[in-house]
Structure 1
């Protein structure tokens, strides 16, 4: 529907406050409590029009994620670096990083499909991220002053991370293993900070400033490239 001159996906649901999200491609979603008057919704959107346009422009300026065929010669990202993929035939699927030659060797059956090779690489990515997270939590939990009761890894299309406040559980996007380490650390700090404050309000960002003063640089680098070839992290 059109609200304040903008095309809006309006969702009414059981919630306490209005929530605005801008997606890649410019789509705008507004979630509101069930009985919110139309005038209140329009005022909410109009008050945030400049913010909406700013994020639409930011998404439009991002570089598209590379399209991979999972064949020899592809440039594969890992921890902020591009590695040349070399696919080698083998009965036992595995991935081996070759830092000296900036190559990533992917071993797969000779008749493997691109989807199968993608799954092998994704499993390796997950293993690499899982190995790093305990150390990062041990580093940043004392700084933030909050401890995650549990954590996990998900392949997410529109979030770098999420936090379940009640369970003190954080989830991190598998895509983070492709980005530089400071970007991963920023998301860890961001989600841990939600254990102090669940809203993205002035208090929240003030705490992030305190815990990681250079977070803006890391977030800008994180969001420089689209999350995937077809989606981007939401601004909310």
Structure 2
């Protein structure tokens, strides 16, 4: 990936078939990326970044001030979220039920796994359960929100994403939701669903896009603010 060093900022540069320069600062580490039209000169990118230096620093400082989440080992006693509620994980030797996960009303998340399982195996088992729960909710989410937004996706899918809560392929009408959304409150999940559906009307995050968000989901700002405080899980 090409980089530019502008003063003390390392800028990741991605050239693509777009009309204007776009700047993004990513959590949690404050990584900066500029998406630029294919023939944009480095000097133009440098000038663009320089004029937005204060904005970049502001966001990097906000990310740096966030409390870093503790590394998870997927062992008994850890707290793991599901749809905005915290559950205490209980790991038990699996036997014939190895890999099974069960949510308990009293606030426990039970995982049956082989006694000699590795951290990676326990994480995979729990993520498989998370993925299944999110996928089984997609039909109801689509049935609720597609008529409200007046747009319909051809495909809904789930994947782990490092920097986005959702993404939309407008031409194929394919929407992906981040697996981590199943851990957030339902309203946050619905916000991302509506956000991606609105992209089927408007590709850019412009005045028209946010006006449509106001029309279809007037309280979307609350969910967006809640998601801003969450550290997305690295992939791979």
Provide TM-score, normalisation by structure 1: 0.89
How far residue 173 of structure 1 moved from its aligned partner, in angstroms, is 0.4
Question: Unaligned 5+ residue runs, structure 1?
Answer: 232-236
* Distance in 2 separating the partners of 1:208 and 1:160: 16
How far residue 132 of structure 1 moved from its aligned partner, in angstroms, is 1.2
1:60 aligns to 2:64 (yes or no): yes
Where does 1:56-205 land on structure 2 (aligned, <5 Å)? 56-91=60-95, 92=97, 93-99=99-105, 101-205=106-210
* Distance in 1 separating the partners of 2:7 and 2:149: 39
How far residue 192 of structure 1 moved from its aligned partner, in angstroms, is 0.4
Aligned counterpart, 2:34: 30
How far residue 136 of structure 1 moved from its aligned partner, in angstroms, is 1.2
The SS at the match of 2:212 is helix
* Distance in 1 separating the partners of 2:156 and 2:167: 10
Q: What per-residue deviation string (whole Å, max 9, x for no partner) do you get for residues 35-72 of structure 1?
A: 21344323422443343233223322333233211111
Aligned counterpart, 2:11: 8
Q: What per-residue deviation string (whole Å, max 9, x for no partner) do you get for residues 89-124 of structure 1?
A: 12222000001x200010111121111111110010
* Distance in 2 separating the partners of 1:50 and 1:193: 30
1:20 aligns to 2:26 (yes or no): no
* Distance in 2 separating the partners of 1:173 and 1:21: 19
* Distance in 2 separating the partners of 1:113 and 1:183: 32
The SS at the match of 2:124 is helix
The SS at the match of 2:231 is coil
How far residue 13 of structure 1 moved from its aligned partner, in angstroms, is 4.0
Contact 1:98 1:105 in 2 (8 A): yes
More displaced, 7-16 or 120-129? 7-16
State how many pairs are aligned: 229
More displaced, 161-170 or 10-19? 10-19
How far residue 4 of structure 1 moved from its aligned partner, in angstroms, is 7.1
